[in-house]
């Protein structure tokens, strides 16, 4: 069965610094991978998705992620953090040989300091 591991439950960066949120997946077949963001008291908003068209995926708000099959990783990055990026970030996977259920990681809380 597919699963997702997010390293680091909390990440703190300074405003303007690089954001790197890690996600590793396990799947026996090529997966579909997603990053979602959750702001306080809100639902999950899609940041970006990987569906095999391109390994480097650009999303909203300046975020991007690179699919690396050899490392089974799909890390999320942003060159320069803004205060408004402070939120909970979730990596999720759908296996290519299962149903449509999203399997989420435990989430990473991003704190941006002035």
Partner 1 sequence: EPEVTQTPSHQVTQMGQEVILRCVPISNHLYFYWYRQILGQKVEFLVSFYNNEISEKSEIFDDQFSVERPDGSNFTLKIRSTKLEDSAMYFCASSGTGKNQPQHFGDGTRLSIL
Residue 16 within binding range of partner 1, rule CB under 8 A: no
Q: Is-contact 101 3, C-beta < 8 A?
A: no
Strand (E) or helix (H) holding 108: strand 108-113
Number of residues that bind partner 1 (CB under 8 A): 24
Q: How far is the CB of 52 from partner 1 (least distance, A)?
A: 8
Output Rg (C-alpha) for the chain, integer angstroms: 13
Query: Which is closer to partner 1, CB of 81 or CB of 110?
Result: 110
Pick from 12, 45, 84, 113 the residue near partner 1 by CB under 8 A: 45
Which residues from 69-108 bind partner 1, rule CB under 8 A? 90, 92, 94, 96, 99-107
- Contact stretch for partner 1 (CB under 8 A) within 10-18, 19-27, 30-38, 70-78: 30-38
For 78-113, give one letter per residue: b (16+ CB within 10 A) or e: beebeeebbbbbbbbbbbeeeeeeebbbebbebebe
Residue 43 within binding range of partner 1, rule CB under 8 A: yes
Residues that bind partner 1 (CB under 8 A): 32, 34, 36, 41-46, 49, 51, 90, 92, 94, 96, 99-107
């Amino acid at each position: 069965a597919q699963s997702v591991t997010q390293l680091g439950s909390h990440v703190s960066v300074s405003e303007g610094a690089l954001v790197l949120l890690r996600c590793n997946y396990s799947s026996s077949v090529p997966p579909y991978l997603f990053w979602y963001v959750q702001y306080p008291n809100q639902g999950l908003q899609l940041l970006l998705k990987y569906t095999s068209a391109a390994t480097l995926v650009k999303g909203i708000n300046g975020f991007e992620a690179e699919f690396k099959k050899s490392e089974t990783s799909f890390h999320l990055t942003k060159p320069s953090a803004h205060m408004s990026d402070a939120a909970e970030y979730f990596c999720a996977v759908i296996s290519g040989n299962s149903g449509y259920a999203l399997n989420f990681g435990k989430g990473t809380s991003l704190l941006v300091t002035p």
